[in-house]
């Protein structure tokens, strides 16, 4: 039997239940006539291994297989073929056996089983003529009647089973070529398991493709309970959570953990969790001298069929930053063309070492990825070059995306990408925001890679290109993390402006989290550096950010002083857009100090400037200020108009962070006009955004407004 079947006896993985990564289903109805073999005294083989003991989960997969059998019942004349594909140790054999034993009544003329040794530690794949000979022996054919010619032998086999209601389970096939000569005609059902997607069965035999992932969390938990007992699992809940997380629903890994827990006298599950917690010891904890009870050994058998190019890319994918990877990023990682990269990735996908989701992104199971990293020790220069390419891909695509999101932002200098890197071309701001959303985790991982390798310029630049996205989506903690690293990296850079900017943006990140002591320290440092190096533009920007800080603290007088100094510097520099932004803020703080007429004049002038220079983000900010002023001056309908126009702009730009605040304020003039349904709608949407962005204090305040009933503020 294969590793999927053998490991049951070694470590109890049958308790864990099998998983099917992919499958194809195509079958015929089974004849309702009495079994001819039994009637005629022909041997009825019963070769199936035992029912998997303690099988749990996979109800959906079994139901789909059963439904496929039921669908064609009574039609007759077509062979049922179900090809189950998945990684080694994923549980293909157990699923096939479970399905077979559930439907034994459909196969009264017998069941044939063979391990084809497609992926085996010691045996070469079985030749089809050898398998056919074994089947003929099991069917009671006189050895003298068995032809020597392989084709004639296969024809005899098909003739003998053509009218029989039989099951043929072909386990552990290496490819469709090994399977094809073993497929019968007539009313038989065939189950095939393999570590490869047997696509030609779909193309040439009309089979359907069924793709199934790892065990669902509830199934993985039940698997441990079944094996270890509910009392032991309940006794160490934290350790169990870790074990489940590190095994990731991988049946063989769960089986090994359960087996170790049962065969060693009462070891605390926390000890096993500690072994799995450390990347350096995780695979070792899932290893064994018995290859059938070793995850590394089991996975190693899949690599034997890879080409040198596929094996190299498999190793590189283990190094790739982020939980998954796009085709374009993978091309940067490998240094291959996009077309060639797609071919190689498809080969790894066909070998069940890589998954591709509906969005076209590629992902390895964490344990497969760890195996790729630990076992494919690529030369340092090869690994370094690959990581440099993929990080450059993320940097340059993110830089172009940021320019689409915020074209008014002063640009920075970015070195040309290394050879072999082609940044993704994005058509507009919406596409840029969508790309950032999809790649955010990978961008953060690329940033960590740059930190670990001491690529200081890249660390600083990645923080810069992420800023607009982080602000608009409200990723406040990620924003803080990248700018803390950027400040550290800037200490190694020759340009003093990079240090000034890094301290300023880190100060802003602290402000957004309400960490005022750290914030003012970095803002003061940024201002001192800007003055020391006579950088007037940075002085203006830092004064503007200091104004925001003091406004957050409620000191609107000091905030107004800073923003007025910023506006004067921008005017001297002949920078009308930043000057308009500062003027709007001056109006805002003036309004908070109670002078609504002066505030309105400032904000209206700022709005006119932003519209003249086509700065939509500044326009939205000015409209929000005017909405606030109108509401507090008692002009509630005008306030609603201003707020709704501002909301439309920020939504169009994907600025969900700003949208939350505008929706929060929009509810207030609605409440003042006793339009309670509109107020509740605005506040509920604001509440959802605040919660998504981790703005707990704002969320709690809005929730209280909703709980207490709508009233004017």
Pair 191, 159 in one domain: yes
H/E stretch holding 192 reads: strand 189-194
CB 271: neighbour CB atoms within 10 A?
A: 13
What pLDDT shows up at residue 8? Answer: 36
Asked if the model's pLDDT at residue 279 lies above 80, the reply is yes
Pair 153, 242 in one domain: no
Task: Decide if 699 contacts 691 (C-beta within 8 A).
Answer: yes
Q: Alpha-carbon distance 483 to 460, whole Å?
A: 8
What pLDDT shows up at residue 75? Answer: 53
- Please report, rounded to a whole number, the percentage of residues in the chain having pLDDT higher than 90: 72
b/e per residue, 667-697, with b = 16+ CB within 10 A?
A: bbbbbbeebeebbbebbebbbebbbebebee
Structure confidence by residue, pLDDT tens digits, 453-482: 999 999 999 999 999 999 999 999 999 999
More confident residue, 55 or 9: 55
More confident residue, 34 or 578: 578
More confident residue, 685 or 91: 685
Average pLDDT of the segment spanning 352-368: 94
Pair 184, 96 in one domain: yes
Scanning the structure block, which residue is given the tokens 């600083």? 460
Pair 102, 195 in one domain: yes
Asked if the model's pLDDT at residue 63 lies above 90, the reply is no
Pair 276, 345 in one domain: no
Residue 333 covered by a domain: yes
Residue 525 covered by a domain: no
- Please report, rounded to a whole number, the percentage of residues in the chain having pLDDT higher than 70: 91
Average pLDDT of the segment spanning 15-31: 34
Structure tokens of 184? 């019968």
Q: Out of 320, 354, 378, pick the residue that ends a domain.
A: 378
Pair 690, 666 in one domain: yes
What pLDDT shows up at residue 24? Answer: 35
Residue 404 covered by a domain: no
Q: Out of 321, 355, 378, pick the residue that ends a domain.
A: 378
3-state helix, strand, coil in the chain (%, to 5): 65, 5, 30
Task: Decide if 33 contacts 245 (C-beta within 8 A).
Answer: no
Judged by average pLDDT, the poorest of 28-32, 172-176, 302-306 is 28-32
Pair 205, 312 in one domain: no
More confident residue, 374 or 677: 677
Asked if the model's pLDDT at residue 171 lies above 80, the reply is yes
Count of structural domains within the chain: 4
Residue 621 covered by a domain: no
What pLDDT shows up at residue 111? Answer: 94
Asked if the model's pLDDT at residue 20 lies above 60, the reply is no
Asked if the model's pLDDT at residue 6 lies above 70, the reply is no
What pLDDT shows up at residue 40? Answer: 56
Average pLDDT of the segment spanning 65-94: 75
Pair 143, 273 in one domain: no
Residue 579 covered by a domain: no
CATH number for position 318? 1.10.10.10
Structure confidence by residue, pLDDT tens digits, 405-440: 999 888 999 999 999 898 999 999 999 999 999 999
Of the candidates 574, 576, 578, 548, the one whose C-alpha atom is nearest the C-alpha of residue 560 is: 548
What pLDDT shows up at residue 2? Answer: 46
Asked if the model's pLDDT at residue 261 lies above 80, the reply is yes
Residue 124 covered by a domain: yes
Asked if the model's pLDDT at residue 26 lies above 70, the reply is no
Pair 243, 367 in one domain: no
Q: Out of 245, 265, 299, pick the residue that ends a domain.
A: 299
What pLDDT shows up at residue 27? Answer: 36
What pLDDT shows up at residue 521? Answer: 96
Judged by average pLDDT, the poorest of 285-294, 599-608, 659-668, 690-699 is 285-294
Q: Is the dihedral of CA 650, 651, 654, 659 positive or negative?
A: positive
Task: Decide if 19 contacts 213 (C-beta within 8 A).
Answer: yes
H/E stretch holding 355 reads: strand 355-356
Scanning the structure block, which residue is given the tokens 């200081």? 456
Residue 544 covered by a domain: no
Structure tokens of 402? 């940021």
Structure confidence by residue, pLDDT tens digits, 187-202: 788 899 999 988 888 7
Asked if the model's pLDDT at residue 165 lies above 80, the reply is yes
What pLDDT shows up at residue 9? Answer: 35
| pTM for this predicted structure | 0.85
Structure confidence by residue, pLDDT tens digits, 341-353: 999 999 999 999 9
Asked if the model's pLDDT at residue 211 lies above 80, the reply is no
Asked if the model's pLDDT at residue 602 lies above 60, the reply is yes
Pair 187, 44 in one domain: yes
| pLDDT band, very low/low/confident/very high, at 10 (cuts 50, 70, 90) | very low
Mean pLDDT rounded to a whole number for the chain: 88
Average pLDDT of the segment spanning 215-227: 92
Residue 459 covered by a domain: no
Pair 67, 180 in one domain: yes
What range defines the domain where residue 662 resides? 655-713
Pair 41, 152 in one domain: yes
């Amino acid at each position: 039997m294969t590793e999927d079947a053998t490991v049951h006896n070694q470590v109890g993985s049958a308790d864990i239940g099998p998983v099917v990564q992919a499958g194809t289903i195509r079958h015929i109805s089974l004849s309702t006539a009495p079994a001819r073999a039994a009637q005629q005294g022909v041997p009825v083989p019963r070769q199936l291994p035992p029912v998997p003991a303690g099988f749990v989960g996979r109800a959906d997969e079994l139901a789909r297989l059963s439904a496929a059998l039921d669908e064609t019942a009574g039609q007759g004349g077509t062979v049922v073929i179900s090809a189950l594909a998945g990684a080694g140790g994923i549980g293909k054999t157990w699923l096939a056996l479970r399905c077979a034993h559930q439907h034994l009544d459909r196969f009264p003329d017998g069941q044939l089983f063979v391990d084809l040794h497609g992926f085996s530690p010691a045996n070469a794949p079985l030749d089809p003529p050898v398998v056919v000979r074994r089947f003929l022996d099991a069917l009671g054919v006189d050895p003298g009647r068995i032809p020597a010619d392989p084709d004639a032998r296969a024809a005899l086999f098909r003739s003998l089973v053509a009218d029989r209601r039989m099951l043929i389970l072909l386990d552990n096939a290496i490819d469709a070529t090994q399977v094809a000569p073993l497929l019968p005609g007539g009313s038989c059902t065939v189950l095939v398991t393999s570590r490869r997607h047997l696509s030609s069965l779909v193309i040439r035999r009309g089979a359907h493709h069924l793709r199934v992932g790892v065990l669902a969390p509830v199934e993985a938990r039940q698997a441990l309970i079944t094996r270890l007992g509910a009392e032991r699992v309940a006794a160490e809940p934290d350790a169990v959570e870790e074990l489940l997380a590190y095994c990731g629903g991988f049946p063989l890994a769960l089986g090994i953990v359960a087996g170790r827990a049962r065969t060693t006298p009462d070891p605390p599950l926390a000890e096993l969790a500690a072994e799995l917690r450390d990347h350096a010891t995780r695979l070792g904890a899932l290893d064994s001298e018995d290859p059938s009870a070793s995850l590394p050994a089991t996975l190693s058998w899949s690599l034997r069929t890879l080409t040198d190019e596929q094996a190299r890319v498999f190793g590189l994918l283990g190094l790739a930053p982020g939980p998954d990877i796009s085709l374009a990023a993978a091309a940067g990682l490998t240094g291959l063309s996009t077309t060639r990269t797609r071919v190689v990735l498809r080969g790894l996908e066909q070998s069940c070492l890589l998954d591709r989701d509906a969005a076209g992104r590629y992902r390895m199971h964490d344990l497969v990825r760890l195996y790729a990293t630990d076992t494919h020790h690529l030369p340092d220069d090869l690994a370094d070059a690959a990581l440099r390419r993929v990080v450059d891909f993320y940097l340059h695509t993110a830089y172009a995306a940021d320019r689409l999101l915020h074209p008014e932002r002063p640009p920075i200098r970015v070195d040309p990408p290394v050879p072999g890197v082609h940044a993704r071309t994005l058509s507009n701001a919406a596409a840029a925001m969508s790309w950032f959303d999809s790649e955010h985790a990978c961008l953060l991982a690329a940033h960590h890679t740059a930190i670990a390798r001491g690529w200081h310029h890249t660390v600083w630049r990645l923080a810069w290109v992420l800023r607009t996205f982080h602000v608009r989506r409200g990723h406040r903690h990620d924003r803080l993390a990248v700018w803390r690293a950027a400040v550290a990296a800037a200490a190694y850079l020759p340009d003093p402006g990079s240090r000034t900017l890094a301290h300023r943006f880190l100060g802003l990140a602290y402000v957004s989290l309400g960490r005022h002591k750290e914030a003012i320290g970095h803002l003061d440092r940024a201002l001192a550096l800007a003055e020391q190096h006579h950088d007037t533009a940075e002085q203006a920007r830092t004064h503007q950010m200091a104004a925001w800080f003091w406004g957050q603290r409620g000191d609107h007088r000091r905030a107004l002083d800073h923003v007025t100094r910023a506006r004067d510097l921008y005017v001297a520099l002949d920078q009308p857009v930043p000057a308009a932004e500062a003027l709007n803020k001056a109006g805002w703080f003036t309004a908070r100090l109670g002078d609504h007429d002066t505030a309105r004049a400032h904000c209206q002038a700022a709005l006119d400037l932003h519209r003249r220079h086509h700065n939509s983000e500044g326009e939205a900010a000015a409209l929000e200020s005017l909405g606030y002023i109108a509401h507090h001056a008692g002009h509630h309908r005008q306030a609603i108009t201003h707020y709704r126009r501002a909301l439309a702009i920020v939504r169009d730009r994907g600025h969900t962070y700003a949208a939350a605040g505008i929706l929060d304020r929009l509810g207030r003039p609605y409440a003042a006009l006793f339009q309670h349904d509109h107020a509740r709608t605005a506040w509920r949407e604001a509440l959802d955004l605040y919660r998504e962005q981790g703005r707990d204090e704002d969320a709690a305040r809005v929730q209280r407004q909703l709980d207490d009933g709508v009233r004017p503020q």
